[in-house]
Structure 1
Amino acid sequence: MPYVISFAVFAFSVLTLIDIITKRDDQVNHLPKLVWVILAILIPVLGGVLWWTVGREWPAREPRDHGWRGAAPSAATGGIRIVDDRAPRDVRDLRSTEQQLADLEREIEADRLRAELARRRAERGE
């Protein structure tokens, strides 16, 4: 019996460590990934339970149709998809960070050019 408990704790710890290591940094809550790894190693059961309950970012789930009033969710919303603003960044915006930064730089440059054009027009009296 003690071997079964020891094996279960070991398997749970290994599964927890694999899950922590394979998650991206933006999918980790409350503490840095390295701290979660250290917690899972030093305090295997408690660290694992904390990781699975509060440390891990769970993917957003699609609403299920439970047949309420016989209408499917798409019919109930008129075919409109409802977007939850509380969803993680990677769910709302599928662009990479580099793409987002490049878009932001283009917007800043365009605003700067518009301001320069407006200033020059004002100088000429247009």
Structure 2
Amino acid sequence: MWFLSLLLLAAMVFAIVDIVLRDNAEIKHLPKVAWLFLVILVPLLGTVLWFTLGRDVPQRLSRPRPTLVSRPAGVSRPAAPPAPSQGRDVRTTEQQLADLEREIEEDRLRAEIARKRAERDRGSED
């Protein structure tokens, strides 16, 4: 019987670590904090629900397994290609804010140009 308790404890700890380390976009149905409370307060049910319903398992590209090859001193590994973004925005918050500020400024300038053209057209009609 102690084996089942140990197994449940290990599964619960694994679930908690998995919840904490996952990105919010990979968590379904409830917020991260709610999943943590569920797993901690109702260990068996919470853990089972987390692994069946709570996680969004990303589709991984099949990659060849790395081989253990020793490299000569001073030779670095080749840079890994960037991971494909699957419809997700990979910009930082600062980049998103800068882009948004540029868009707002462009809209303001367009509105000002349209206003000046309208004033010019009204002036030429008189």
On whether the aligned pair clears a TM of 0.5, the verdict is yes
Once the 2 structures are TM-superposed, how far is the Cα of residue 108 of structure 1 from its aligned partner?
Answer: 1.9
Shift of 1:10: 0.8
The residue correspondences of 1:80-99 to structure 2 (distance < 5 A) are 87=86, 91-99=87-95
Gaps of 5+ in 2: 63-83
Root-mean-square deviation (CA, aligned residues, Å) is 2.4
* Larger-Rg structure: 2
Partners of 1:39 and 1:92 in 2: how far apart?
28
- Percent identity, aligned pairs only? 51
The CA deviation at 1:101 is 2.7
Q: Any idea what the Cα deviations from partners look like across 1:20-50, whole Å, max 9, x if unmatched? A: 1122333222112111111101111211111
In structure 2, what is the Cα distance between the partners aligned to 1:35 and 1:55?
11
CA distance in 2, matches of 1:49, 1:40: 9
CA distance in 2, matches of 1:104, 1:60: 31
In structure 2, the partner of 1:6 is 5
- 2:61 maps to a residue whose letter is E
Task: Write out aligned runs for 1:1-126 (5 A).
Answer: 2-62=1-61, 87=86, 91-125=87-121
TM-score normalized by the length of structure 2: 0.68
Q: Distance in 2 between matches of 1:97 and 1:57?
A: 23
Alpha-carbon distance in 1 for matches of 2:97, 2:10: 42
